[in-house]
Structure 1
């Protein structure tokens, strides 16, 4: 009878090992499948169709930033309008326009652009340029001034490539 209990205990222990092994393989297989779906599988076809329909919704919409043509303007160095007159601004600007015709027009009107930007920048004080919000407002103001010169909404964005305030 003792031998039967020993063999029965061996069978239960062996059976328990198999159950644990099967459960472990199932968990690893499920984790592998999840990782494959999440990180390695391509985008679902439905998502691709949705993105195509979103692109086709408004063909007359303004181009997204980075979709236009970029023109690099020369670096501007101006005295700021501080009371002591000891501060200056060095500013590098890239201008994004909507078409190649606008690039040619901007290059043609470069003296007017330089004059306008020098007057605008030299009218600013250190306090006008010290915060992030004021820098963003300056970018919008430059876009507005350039669009006035160009005669329409041809300038879409202005990028500061170099800015030193001393």
Structure 2
């Protein structure tokens, strides 16, 4: 009788193992699907496809940020437009342009660039520069102003090399 009592326990224990293995297989398959769908890097073919679309639209793929020529502008120190007038901004800027001709043009128009940037920076308050979003917005404003001076989209990116707000 003792043998008869042990056989049903083995079958019940075996059923639990089968269910556990099936559950692990399903979870593993779901995890693999989620990884492939959401977390895995795209294949190289999929990454190259948008570049082909940019070339077809007439954009020059060689004018992406990081591919241009960098010009270092002098450090700007300006008073901020705070009510008490006790805050100032010290800003070092590197400008990335599309070509060597744009580098020469930027150097030629350096007085206008300095004037424009001093006026722009001195119009800002501490609150205008205190968040990350506002600093990114300032970069875009500088790019827009420099492109107005140089005529066209010759400035790709502006990099802050030094920024002190006191």
TM-score range for the pair, normalised by the shorter chain length: 0.5 to 0.7
Residue 156 of structure 2: SS of its match in structure 1?
A: strand
Residue 106 of structure 1: SS of its match in structure 2?
A: helix
Report the equivalent of 2:11. 15
Is the aligned partner of 1:99 residue 2:99?
A: yes
CA distance in structure 2 between the aligned counterparts of 1:109 and 1:16, rounded to whole angstroms? 86
Q: CA deviation at 1:18?
A: 1.6
- Using a 3 Å threshold, how does the CA distance of structure 1 residues 93 and 37 change in structure 2: closer, same or farther? same
Flag structure 2 segments of 5+ consecutive residues without an equivalent. none
Once the two structures are superposed, the pairs formed by residues 116-131 of structure 1 within 5 Å of their partners are 116-122=116-122, 124-126=123-125, 129-130=128-129
- Using a 3 Å threshold, how does the CA distance of structure 1 residues 67 and 19 change in structure 2: closer, same or farther? farther
Report the equivalent of 1:53. 49
Flag structure 1 segments of 5+ consecutive residues without an equivalent. none
Aligned length: 159
Contact 2:80 2:126 in 1 (8 A): no
Task: Provide the alpha-carbon RMSD of the alignment.
Answer: 3.6
Once the two structures are superposed, what CA deviation does each residue of 1:37-68 show, in whole Å capped at 9, x if it has no partner? 55589657xx6544433332231237555554
Which deviates more, 93-102 or 150-159?
93-102
Q: TM-score, normalised by structure 1?
A: 0.67
CA distance in structure 2 between the aligned counterparts of 1:43 and 1:83, rounded to whole angstroms? 50
- Using a 3 Å threshold, how does the CA distance of structure 1 residues 87 and 17 change in structure 2: closer, same or farther? closer
Q: TM-score, normalised by structure 2?
A: 0.67
Q: CA deviation at 1:152?
A: 1.6
Report the equivalent of 1:28. 24
